[in-house]
Amino acid sequence: MPGRGSMVSLRRRDNGFTLVEVMVALAVFSLAALALIRLEGATIRSTALLGDTIVAQMVARNVAVDAVTAPRAPTVGRAGGVEQNGGRAWRWVREVRPTGDPRILRIDVAVVDAGGRPLGRLTMIRPPQPEVIVS
């Protein structure tokens, strides 16, 4: 009858998983689920940062275009301010520097968040103003 006892033990093994096998499977699944949750969190954070970067670039462009198209050239040096855009206040810093040609100015604008981290940056050149001749 030793053959019969071994058949019974084989049947018990074929009926399902052991507790150890189930625990290992759950551990593997939980590690995979945890990795997916972390990935989702990183994706959400990067999406929010991308949105902030896009709006900051728009603010930088607006400040630079104002300086380029103003009737009078901005003064050389640093200036700063706050712009409202997208329902938020954005701090910007504009630096105007001369170039090799004294009639042409380089305008650098940086937009920073509340912590001082730069989110948007733009450089424009203000060309010389055309001379207006009135007859």
* CATH code of residue 91: 3.30.1300.30
Considering all CA atoms of the chain, what is the largest pairwise distance in Å, rounded to the nearest integer?
125
Amino acid at residue number 46: S
pLDDT in tens, 57-103: 999 999 999 999 998 889 999 999 999 888 888 999 999 999 988 88
Q: Between 40 and 7, where is the model more confident?
A: 40
Q: Which domain holds residue 83?
A: 2-126
Is the residue at 133 inside a domain? no
Is the residue at 56 inside a domain? yes
Amino acid at residue number 124: M
How many structural domains does the chain have?
1
